[in-house]
Structure 1
């Protein structure tokens, strides 16, 4: 008889084979936006900027703001295709105009209020899921923190801390717990636990991608174990995993390798 981990893994693989599903962050307040227009940054800027509102130095001055001491600017890239006719050859020439400028996060600025209105929902605590989290926190000693109107969810090994947006920021209670489980699985890789995380892992490389696969599959298993409705969750997980498989050149077999490590992480959380 197939184990829960095998059932979940097979379901994910089938969804991966059906094509790419656009992945999204299941909470509000998760994009980097231009403070003045409130429009999200696009293209490579999605990777260059963390979530939040951004202003240029001149915009900060015009709004009578003050940059906090020690704050650093961030690069934003602007590119535009220009099409013109070459007078010598009468051919249409297309050139790309590429420029960059620097912006500051509103979190590093004093005297200017945020324009963002974070939509909050009346989500609820799911007893069985919360019990898994609370029991793991008690026995592991990990710090678990919900930030006020956060735009990020992450595990930071140096401080052994999991940080999540508030429950009310998520599209549903189920998505909140799926995200919490994802970060808890990451935490099992700490050197004092399963010793899976490596110092050489960085965004986009194979080690980082593999760890993301482990965390997402582990989250899916925990959702199944705690009887969360996984229909929407599984679609989101499959799309997220698909994005990391691109970094692994579509190596679907890597999902099976990650699933074995994910099952070990889940057993550690539930023991």
Structure 2
């Protein structure tokens, strides 16, 4: 019989709540983290997200695990280790969507429909596994800070959010109308940690404002389902935030009343906790995204990441969750860095497999791990791909909780002749394209459609025309980007008949020099040239460039009405 994942997870949470405990308030006594909350990590050091965090926290508490690292049976096996006899794994889930083509009964036309699915899989804590490299079992040593240093760090974090925080009265709350957080004076709290944990809770509420995450859970009055859901989001979101900040979440005085409200909501909707955890993760990520990028550390002083190189362990695609990512061979957990050149991981992207995202129907779509790595670095709230192809980038973005839009010739959008900003209806934090190359793989009339399209970049008569149109596309992307946001493209070089053309160099030369922020090298795998023989002995081109520019903060971008609300949007 097919397992009902929603019911199983919800029933586990209900049992904990009915016992008078909050599952997200339990695993702080781990020896590995000196009494502080810790996010569960994958074998490669990447943190889990959303509902998987709650599920693994509950498992760690129930079974007494103190190590934060989890992996699948196959991952352990490929590391030369084995799961101990009679050990049972823990459930986590992989949530995504697939596209199904169906006939519209009213129009008689075929339409793509987005079908969500959730797949459970099993992981084991490293304490259940023997034979792993020693660093998997190492006890983390948190930095020793004075109380003054900790307070200064917390103050800097919440100041960077630019939230309006007022200190008065004896109640802590967020007022959405006037948009401010009220906190009792610092001296009213039993200790600084209680103050900052409470502030984390209220700032999680602060993210719901329409100008931020625009989260509306249907709240009407105290105690109703919408109120209970928003409080659940704030509770879980602040726990996620405390995991990043090294805080212990605060137990509220109205503990019992809130638990009663949550029980009512969870018993009425087995998917409610999944929704709440998703919104909570978005809220925590939003607050982290507001932080300035950390100063780079010298390589010799940089602490080693937990776990081996991701490339060292082959993963079963069925076991790759949506919040898996990789930037380099030793990617540490995300620190909230927003600038690519300051993010951990370096400037080389190397992912041999496509991952579980998108389809190979449109050649040229790169590995979904590339987009995943980019989103981990830049943390966009709104992402647009104006040459989306089979939809890989949009699938990855949505699996990470990012609002994403995909446009393409095959969905009725022309990046040369139509404005991205008008098609989407709002500016984006990140606009990335992966356009077809000139005269390499012919797109319109071959890969897609019956007739050549006049603005198809792959059908330009000359390289000069191709580059001129590519510049128009980049201007279109820049116009669709928020001030301070990033725009860019994934493009490489070509060699035909011995003649080498450096598209990336030409593009960089013609785009605003003062806005260039990063050039990442992406290795190419499974390319057709590997099966061909060439007369020249020169090295084959086996890489592309992901080029990023940043739009200046001083530029004002209007938000126009959507001119054609649906026809141009990729139907994922």
Which one has a bigger Cα radius of gyration?
A: 2
The answer to which structure, 1 or 2, has the higher relative contact order (CA under 8 A, 6+ apart) is 1
After TM superposition, the score normalised by the length of structure 2 is 0.25
Larger relative helix fraction: 1
After TM superposition, the score normalised by the length of structure 1 is 0.50
